[in-house]
Structure 1
Amino acid sequence: MVPQSRNTTTCLVTGAVGGIGAAVATALATIGHPVAVLDRDERVLGTGERLRAEGAASHAIVADVTDADAVLAAVDTTERHLGPIGVLVNVAGILRTGPILELSDDDWASCLAVNATGVWNTGRAVGRRMRDRGTGSIITVASNAAAVPRVGMAPYAASKAAAVMVTRCLALELAPHVRCNIVCPGSTDTAMLRSMWSDPEDDRGADRTVAGSPEQFKLGIPLGRIAAPEDIAGAVVWLAGDGSRHITMQSITVDGGATLGV
């Protein structure tokens, strides 16, 4: 990959070890952005190495978004290596599934810590600097489950709904110079989605996802396919750029119609 053009705006992408996060980082790097990739999984170092090998300016950071001090340090490191952060993309997330009556307190707390408090921590750390510089774009990758109830996904859905509202409130407080928006994916071909299948290696799980599950009150996908991570990345890149300069506090759902436009 050789960057198509040279953008000077530095981007920080959390949850970038794989899946949507890695796809977002790659898409931003492809159009020339310097990209810092962050994850608590040390394999994110490999993501950074790959981007650099493909011609991008990239820096990888092992850090946990639930740790406010670690996030502050990561922001300092990013700006020291790549320059002022102009785009923040919150992708880091975890999933805990099961009935509410059977899940543990830790399942609930963990989802809130990563999916919601993580957005709080990064938004505050980067948002202060964007406010002082008078420019920036923040995009949170949430989920269509933030707006539609899901059987067996209460901690995940609730934490993603919280992430949506934190992002919208941040947008209001940082206006007029910093924009904050949300991308809400539906079923996307990632390790997280496959962990919900009886056999993560069996691609027929995608067919069952597309067909839907009436017993779980879950519709199928009208477009007839699950998303690729790159489909989500495309929406993120657009929200990060000048083409969406008059859009803030908005949520774009990328789910093939699974939630019927809700």
Structure 2
Amino acid sequence: MPEHIRNESHAEGEFAGRTALVTGAGQGIGAAVAAALAARGAHVVATDRDAHGIDELAASARGSAGTITPRVMDVTDPAAVASVVDGVVRDHAGLDILVNVAGILRSAPVAELTDADWADTFAVNTTGVFHTSRAAASHMTARGSGCIVTVASNAAGIPRTGMAAYAASKAAATMFTKCLGLEIARSGVRCNVVAPGSTDTAMQRALWPEGQSEVPPSVIAGDPETYRTGIPLGRIASPHDIADAVLFLASDRAKHITLQELYVDGGATLR
């Protein structure tokens, strides 16, 4: 059984009859979110700009309470996003849940950041959230229900050395999601943010020393040289930890929660 699939029979059916669109679903947190939604009965449209990961995800989810349909989509292309969202609404008679997970990380000190690094980071992490949320919100407000969850980062709320572009893009996506949520709250649509800390994904492992397979001690204990606190709970998150928070905010259990930012970082930001 693939790592992003796990048995969730106790929650089966929680999202039965609902349609969800998940961006960045080819791996990591996005794959975990898509699989968890399908396990609970949702019809999930899993999108990524690379077909391989979402095709594998759809195949591995066969037999779930819900379904996963892969769709290649680049969140930086507004026409492509609008086409996919319109297709989901047409094929499934609506869109109930949007989860913005697609993101990239270009880490470097500001003096070494290129114009392309900055532009590419914002194109995916911020403008991509704008494209998908705008398209989804227009349908959700028309029908008077729905929810949008943006997966940002705890770096959006605390300075990080070498991560200025990433942190700034996630901070922008966070505030955009809250502003959108304020604008459309009276239409019955909720918008919230999940802010993960260090999570065991390909993006996180790319920050480790080359060839490192275990979590570097500094990730858990902190690193005074980079002004980084440790993780009080003593471990990094799994993608499932983040998916659980996303699913709570997307569920009826959170039906009176909007404009909120939920940190899932083991206490790393001391918030």
Q: Above 0.5 in TM-score?
A: yes
Summarize deviations over 1:131-169 as a string: whole Å, max 9, x none. Answer: 000000000000000010000000000000000011001
Structure 2: unaligned runs, 5 residues or longer: 1-6
**Aligned position for 2:112:** 102
Give 1:53 shift: 4.9
SS at match of 2:106: coil
- Once residues 256 and 2 of structure 1 are traced to their aligned partners in structure 2, the CA distance between those partners, rounded to angstroms, is 23
SS at match of 1:52: coil
User: More displaced, 68-77 or 93-102?
Assistant: 68-77
- Once residues 81 and 26 of structure 1 are traced to their aligned partners in structure 2, the CA distance between those partners, rounded to angstroms, is 20
**Aligned position for 1:124:** 134
- Once residues 127 and 200 of structure 1 are traced to their aligned partners in structure 2, the CA distance between those partners, rounded to angstroms, is 43
Give 1:103 shift: 1.1
- Within 5 Å, which residues of 2 pair with 1:191-202? 191-199=202-210, 201-202=212-213
**Aligned position for 2:191:** 180
Give 1:175 shift: 1.0
Q: Please tell me whether the aligned partners of residues 139 and 183 of structure 1 are also in contact (alpha carbons under 8 angstroms).
A: yes
Query: Identity, % of aligned pairs?
Result: 52
**Aligned position for 2:41:** 32
Q: Please tell me whether the aligned partners of residues 184 and 253 of structure 1 are also in contact (alpha carbons under 8 angstroms).
A: yes
Query: Which amino acid in 2 is paired with 1:37?
Result: A
**Aligned position for 1:243:** 253
**Aligned position for 2:32:** 23
- Once residues 42 and 76 of structure 2 are traced to their aligned partners in structure 1, the CA distance between those partners, rounded to angstroms, is 26
TM normalised by structure 1 equals 0.95
Counterpart pick for 1:12 among 17, 21, 24: 21
- Once residues 85 and 200 of structure 1 are traced to their aligned partners in structure 2, the CA distance between those partners, rounded to angstroms, is 42
Give 1:200 shift: 5.2
Q: Please tell me whether the aligned partners of residues 59 and 78 of structure 1 are also in contact (alpha carbons under 8 angstroms).
A: no
Counterpart pick for 1:65 among 75, 83, 93: 75
Structure 1: unaligned runs, 5 residues or longer: none
**Aligned position for 2:3:** none
Q: Please tell me whether the aligned partners of residues 10 and 85 of structure 1 are also in contact (alpha carbons under 8 angstroms).
A: yes
2:91 paired with 1:51: no
Q: What's the RMSD between the two structures over aligned residues?
A: 1.4
SS at match of 1:101: helix
